Structure 1
Amino acid sequence: MSKKRQYGEGGISEYRTKAGPRYYIKYMALRPDGTRSAVLKRGFVNRREAASALRAELRNLETGQWVDVSKQSLSAYLAEWLDGQRLAPSTLSSYQKNVRLHIDRHIGKTPLDRLTGLAIDGWMRKLERSGRADGAGGLSARTVRYVFTILRSALADAVKHGHLAVNPTDRSTPPTASQARPPEMQAWTAAELARFLGWAEKYDSDMAVAWHLLAFTGMRRGEALALRWRDVDLEAARIAVRRSVGLVKHKGEGEELVEGPTKTGQARVVDLDAGTVERLRRHRAVRGALSPELIRGTAVVLGDLEGNHRHPERFSRRFLGHLKRAQRALGDDRVPTIRLHDLRHTHATLLLADGEPVKVVSERLGHASATITLTVYQHVHPGMGKQAATRFATLLDEASEGRPAE
């Protein structure tokens, strides 16, 4: 039976379920549209729990903190949320793909007001066990953390706009940053890089320019593929990195290459060595002989023979194909397997190992701060630790030699 309360205090009532008696609370609230109507919440296991929830709701009403929580499904809300985001096309495409594959399929039908930290934990554990879209097992901790970050951001906006009172992801346990660490990076030694570039020059000089440019500047793949001749100043021996090209995939509509800003949104200037300048001069002359259109200011430096951007993923596969051929010719131990992106890591690692200031390396890479460079390159290149130990011992030996005898 309902316990009698004064008007405006709300009420608590009991109802029967297969699991036993449960309680619901009911109170009047002013909706955002100005109408006044009853709010009902069910599922409390005892009267004490229901009374506590009712007091909290009434307190929020009195202080103006009450939120008319949404019963909209999570999928419907996320679709609206994504439509309102100002993101780079490639980032938006990634968000849409991950929402579709890893959120909508599992918890998309859940009403916003029924999402709990416990339910979100269960969802993440399921992704870890069997979340792959192809049914071949679970997702990595890194991917689960990435998808969780998307959901957390979306639900934070739901709280901000009054659709939720609290963010349920605040009460959940995603994979830690340590568990979600990216795969260990690989970097070539100077000798290994020189062997590969020397082989590539003889095998395919057109693509060798691309591998050389990436290794000698530390540019990201998308930045190199977006480079235009107007960005290259061969007289001053420098290039301006202003944009990046990325692959955007649309469900049911194929894919497209889209130019946008660099990863940090900031342009930068990268100085070139004399050898790289000379290679770019030869590359420009060869392309100009094919067609004047290929060396206009707006022409893409590393474009295909029709002047179009190269497909980023095919570009990476082509590097791996060249690397395998180089390994057959030179030996696996002389040019170990790395990814295309590891040319960037090689650039940074070799410079840092040789004592180049972190700030200089950070600026060449286009990191937002030198702190990021230090964090990414905490590892030491083979031999760096030994060099540091030798230097320290030398400092002490020199100090001892100059110290007056006791």
Structure 2
Amino acid sequence: MASFQKYETKDGIRWMYKYYGEIDPRNGKKKQSTKRGFKTKKEAQLDAAKTEQELANGTFISEDKTLTFQQLYEQWYSTVSSTYKPSTKKAVQHKFNKRILPHFGNLKVKDISKAYCQDVLNKLAKEIKSVDNMRMYANQVFEYGVRMEIISKNPLKGTIIPKLEEDFLADKKDEERNYWEKNEIKKFLALVKQECSLRDYTMFHLMIYTGGRKGEILALRWSDIDMKNKTINFSKTLFQENGEFIALTSKTAASRRSISLDASTVDVLKKLRREAASEPLVSFELPGNHLVFSRQDGTPLRLAYPNDRLDAIIKQHAFHPINIHGLRHTHASLLFEAGASIKEVQERLGHSDIKMTMNIYTHVTKAVKEKTAERFEKFMEL
């Protein structure tokens, strides 16, 4: 049975109650606890009745009032990180350290309210486009606390991802276009072929003509390419940490795929293979486990190398600015322009979720949109 008592604060009279909750494992006796801050005795009595009912039902959770979000995060991470690949661990830690912990880390979990969580989401939405991803990770920490009966509720539950005004605009600025159109691709490849090494030209050619991810391209070995049957097998991705390189298995089954190559891409690869075979440190019978793209000593290229080369070329020759992932979007856009179906593009790019492919489809080139209008016009003329 709870006992009630009033006390004075700078804000006036408040009520508290004492109750006997969980059993202390050290002596086998129930621990006495106190809940404070009620404005009236009636409020305290109602809360006490709820607490006693939860104790009777075995659903009561006695929260650690000193637990911070940082501590809860560390418990969660130590539990789930064993299921992560090194690349995923690095990405998750970066997201928490840069975006989530600055807002939540030092706060006591019991003090984190739904209103505060919504305020954080509103601020993040103005800073980054991936606010839904940040919310997903923070939510996992809170849900872990609830499942482990460390906290009684998840304050993120019911919060909303805000939409900014520009999300509702029909037209996006051209500067936001993260892909190249066919004429831009031809100009870029012609320039790279003239000014860059055969290795770099082949690397960019392969990204544009296969839609392969940067890590997939840099992890390729000659055994992954079948020149005779004109196929390439993407099953690994290159990961770099502390100066060391690791070839990791692709994250999803959809990412592990074999796709067809066009004749021009096969010819470019054959030229690179002949050049690699002529290097003094490499035998003519090139082993299949040699990297397709490597430094002179056979070690992998830096993961940032394609980004650096692309940025330099764009800046020097005033190309429309895109990032390295934009070459993958470019491949998808050209496939759509050539008449490929959404399902075909999904399989070629290795998307596990067709929503990823649909997001690219909404940003297809002007030529595709014009062809759609032309098809409608011809249909109406029939």
How far the C-alpha of 1:122 sits from its partner, in A, is 4.4
Q: Does 1:11 align with 2:3?
A: yes
Bigger shift: 254-263 or 198-207? 254-263
2:266 paired with 1:277: yes
Q: 2:282 aligns with which of 273, 282, 292?
A: 292
Q: Secondary structure at the match of 1:142?
A: coil
Following the alignment from structure 1 to structure 2, what is the Cα–Cα distance between the partners of residues 324 and 120?
40
2:101 pairs with 1:108: no
1:230 deviates by: 1.6
Question: How do 1:12-91 and structure 2 match up within 5 A?
Answer: 12-31=4-23, 33=25, 36-71=30-65, 72-85=67-80, 86-91=83-88
Tell whether 2:208 aligns with 1:215.
yes
- Give the SS at the match of 2:288: coil
Offset at 1:19?
Answer: 2.0
| Matches for 1:110-259 after TM superposition, within 5 Å | 110-124=107-121, 140-176=127-163, 184-204=176-196, 205-248=198-241, 254=242, 256-259=244-247
1:95-142 superposed Cα distances (whole Å, 9 cap, x missing partner): 2233334444443233333322133344455667xxxxxxxxxx7143
Alpha carbons of structure 1 residues 61 and 176: separation in structure 2 relative to 1, 3 Å: farther
**CA 1:358 to 1:97, structure 2 compared with 1: closer, same or farther past 3 Å?**
closer
Which residue number in structure 2 is paired with residue 376 of structure 1? 360
Superposed displacement of residue 383, structure 1: 2.7
Moved more, 233-242 or 166-175: 166-175
CA contact (8 A) 2:189 2:201 kept: yes
CA distance in 1, matches of 2:109, 2:157: 15
1:297 CA drift (Å): 2.1
Q: 1:258 to 1:343 in 2, by over 3 A?
A: same
- For 1:147, the aligned partner's letter is M
TM-score by length of 1: 0.81
Give the CA deviation at 1:162: 0.8
CA 1:225–1:48: 2 relative to 1, 3 Å: farther
3-state secondary structure, aligned to 1:84: helix
Cα distance in structure 2, aligned partners of 1:148 and 1:277: 44
Aligned-partner residue type, residue 312 of structure 1: L
Count, aligned residues: 368
Q: What corresponds to 1:136 in structure 2?
A: none
Deviation at 1:15, TM superposition (A): 2.2
Instruction: For residue 312 of structure 1, report the CA deviation from its aligned partner.
Output: 1.6
Cα separation, partners in 2 of 1:206 and 1:396, compared to 1, 3 Å? same
- Secondary structure at the aligned position of 1:97 is classed as helix
Secondary structure at the counterpart of residue 61 of structure 2:
coil
SS of residue matched to 2:304: helix
Shift of 1:300: 1.6
Name the CA shift for 1:315/1:390 in 2 (closer, same or farther; >3 Å): closer
Conserved 8 A contact 2:216-2:236: yes
SS in 1 for 2:77: helix
Change (3 A) 1:103 1:354: closer
Determine whether 1:264 maps to 2:270. Answer: no
The AA in structure 2 aligned to 1:359 is K
Deviates more, 1:40-49 or 1:312-321: 40-49
- Output the aligned Cα RMSD: 2.8
**Distance (whole Å) between structure 2 residues aligned to residue 397 and residue 112 of structure 1:** 66
Deviation per residue, 1:247-290 (Å, 9 max, x gap): 44xxxxx5644432334354111110111111111111111211
SS at match of 2:239: strand
**Structure 2 length-normalised TM:** 0.86
Residues 255/151 of structure 1: CA separation in 2 closer, same or farther (3 Å cut) = farther
Cα gap change, 1:311/1:296 in structure 2, threshold over 3 Å: closer, same or farther? Answer: same
Identity %: 25
Relative distance call for 1:293 and 1:170 in structure 2 (3 A) is farther
Corresponding position of 2:330: 346
| Cα distance, 1:59–1:179 mapped onto 2, change above 3 Å | farther
